[in-house]
Copies of this chain bind each other. A is one copy, B any other.
């Protein structure tokens, strides 16, 4: 079994990666200090429920004290309303401080169930069981949250899981768009911290169809390794954890201005990464393999230009609403070279200038 160790100030835990693990959740939890669990609440969405809940439940020796709560699939479930309902439900079924909450699903479920766990009785144990590639990122590191209209992840906590259980078999039911969304975060990990991994990805990945269990395992170990490294050094985003925001400042703005769901998260981040690379070239007066990256990503079905209909001014205003912004300047994650991220406060003018150029000419043309 492949294992990545995460070690933060508040907790140490493992990410276990292997095909078929959904059948043995109970045993894994039992072996990871949860043998004293008084009850389990599995929070999942309708889609994942229909595909996998039977497999998951079959792995529990007894069905009493195992509860399942199903929410609607999609971002809309990260609401105060659903959060409150889940808390009421937890109380109703009598979860206590020895209970374990299991997040069975993608990033939405991990964020939502994690925030329920972080705050029910001021915190009960929880286990992440990610079912998407994108969630390889969100399920590790302990960021949990819900949304307010117009502000994603605005209310939440830093709360680490006890264990992350990654069954790569569950990824095979993902549509291509979901692969693309998740793979952008894999690429991001290469750009900010691990050039070798980035080069390996560029050499290996020419389509998502080649992602068999063996390959996925290797890729996930590397990608989660970068994440583990960063959050171990900086659990609560006082410093280098901000590197993980590479591509996200513009990415989030595109998602918000376009309306969530038009582009997937990773598709928007891909555009944001290309923007950050071009900005890095300009700020540090260096040359980066941007064109090569664009070509590669487009082979994989990404569209790397700013979507039509968005204005530079609108995007800049949206970037300023990001909760990483304090004071007037926008804190951008740039790279000094591939594999080496750096934080830089950037004024409005160069950002606007680049955004205009990107919208009018695209990123692919000759830049200088």
- Given the interface pairs A96-B323, A323-B97, A326-B98, the reply to whether A157 lies near B157 with Cβ below 8 Å is yes
A residues 137-193 in Cβ contact with B at 8 Å: 143, 145, 148, 150-151, 154-158
In the assembled complex, the Cα of A27 lies from the Cα of B80 at a distance in Å of 36
A120 sits at the interface (CB 8 A): yes
Q: Is the CB of A156 within 8 A of B122?
A: yes
Q: Is the CB of A119 within 8 A of B327?
A: no
Q: What 0/1 readout, one digit per residue, does chain A (186-208) give for beta carbons within 8 Å of chain B?
A: 00000000000000000000000
A123 sits at the interface (CB 8 A): yes
A317 sits at the interface (CB 8 A): no
- Given the interface pairs A96-B325, A323-B97, the reply to whether A87 lies near B154 with Cβ below 8 Å is yes
A63 sits at the interface (CB 8 A): no
In the assembled complex, the Cα of A325 lies from the Cα of B38 at a distance in Å of 12
Q: Is the CB of B123 within 8 A of A158?
A: yes
- Given the interface pairs A96-B326, A148-B91, the reply to whether A157 lies near B118 with Cβ below 8 Å is yes
Chain B residue contacts of A91, Cβ below 8 A: 148, 150-151, 154
Interface size on A, residues (CB 8 A): 31
Q: Is the CB of A154 within 8 A of B96?
A: no
In the assembled complex, the Cα of A194 lies from the Cα of B97 at a distance in Å of 29
In the assembled complex, the Cα of A156 lies from the Cα of B115 at a distance in Å of 10
Q: Which of A119, A120, A143, A145 has the most CB of B within 10 A?
A: A119
A84 sits at the interface (CB 8 A): yes
A345 sits at the interface (CB 8 A): no
A88 sits at the interface (CB 8 A): yes
A283 sits at the interface (CB 8 A): no
- Given the interface pairs A88-B148, A148-B87, A148-B88, the reply to whether A155 lies near B119 with Cβ below 8 Å is yes
A residues 67-113 in Cβ contact with B at 8 Å: 80, 84, 87-88, 91, 96-98
